[in-house]
Structure 1
Amino acid sequence: MKLSPPEQHQSDSVVLNNDYPLEQDTSVKAPKRSIKASYSENGILNDIGVEKRRVYQYQNADGITVFSDKSPQHNDYQVLLYECFACRPESTIDWYKIPLNTADYKHFVNNAARQHKLDAALIRAVIHAESAFKEKAVSRVGAKGLMQLMPVTAKEMGVLDSLNAADNINGGSRYLAKLLKQFKGDLELACAAYNAGPSNVLKHNGVPPFPETQAYVKRVQILYKRYQKAHRAS
């Protein structure tokens, strides 16, 4: 399948804790090594629902992996997430009022909606819930990109590069359509399967009793209704 060239977007931050140096002395040549970062146990939000310090991961000219609170001057960096944006049960974000994103990746979302017979508002809601529109997001368990595809899922859906917006959205939408078909159009179950896996939905004969999954399902549905309303108004 021929993909359109990537649309312009704004990359965002990583959120980690502060047990590593954020600035390094670049005047001293250091051997190639990787600095390991620890994830915050509080996830990507603090207790009042606000993102913590922004930290960027990238490699410098000496091949050293750097974590910095300053945005790099190039695009070769990644966003690391503790978990999906909408999965934290104790998040105090007001999901009925959080700003929507109806513009970014519009061409890719609309193409995927047509190809996989999905509502574009649903695709946008899942992207918002999974990564908050961070194209280079990588979770602690290895899920990647806007729709946070696990490597096995990405491979099954024919995704060559999960950090490519067009490829990720197309593959994530294909997977979402597959789950909706498997669960006979039940949006709640399809969203639960997207988050926790279809085997867990079948095992529990419904939305699994995992707080993260239950929070995710509820918030996707809230976002979906809001994106539907926004699309109708546009």
Structure 2
Amino acid sequence: MTESRDTGAAGAVAPPRAGALRALLALALLVPAASLGTAIGLVWGPGTPLGKALFFAGKAWLVMFPAVWWLRVERGRPSLSPPRLGGFRVAALLGVLQSAVVLGVYGLAGGSLVDAGRVQAMVERAGLGDWRVYLAGALYWIAVNSVLEEYVWRWFVFRQCEALAGARAGVALAAGLFTVHHIVALQVYFSWPVTVLGAAGVFAGGVVWSWCYARYRSVWPGWLSHAIVDVAVFAVGAVIIFG
């Protein structure tokens, strides 16, 4: 992660067309490969050695490629994305509001839409059927995976989308790519109506968190909002799985 700046090699400002083409190439190299690994691991080859290998290869690519691209292509410097502009209060409020929507939608319609038996079977297959393992997984997703997603999808993907289309359109474009990546996993666990509803929620979250990065130029406000929402999501998951 790093401070945001639209520069080319050696710190020189990249021409607009060159910057856009470079951003398009970065997205083309990152997003399809990561989504393909998820599709092979969860849909086309679940449980197989090849499926597992390609799933983890996709995850490794998703994490490593942005850093390599930033250091070698954009010639940037490592950074912990310091939150110099603040934004934590706004982000926390947005996280609470999003969580209220998640809990409210599930409370109103989740019981009739979600096939609990299917979800429980998939969770057992993934090794998360024990509540202690589920809790450990939830803590990892809330504390670690959410940071990685902000690093990939906001710090890296949003910046490339911003270079292509500007900040406002870049927010929507980055959220759309974030959503497509998650649809692959959603449809494994849920019916298509629930997948569509979940995708709408993922897109809304992607818009909020991309906006947080666009506004505050740090991954940490968006991460706080993201983590709060993940708590609500895993709480709903616990109700579905364990009753």
Same fold judged by TM-score > 0.5? no
Identify, as 1 or 2, the structure richer in helix: 2
Identify, as 1 or 2, the structure richer in strand: 1
Give TM-score scaled by structure 2 length.
Answer: 0.29
Q: Of the two structures, which has the highest relative contact order with CA contacts closer than 8 Å and spacing of 6 or more? A: 2
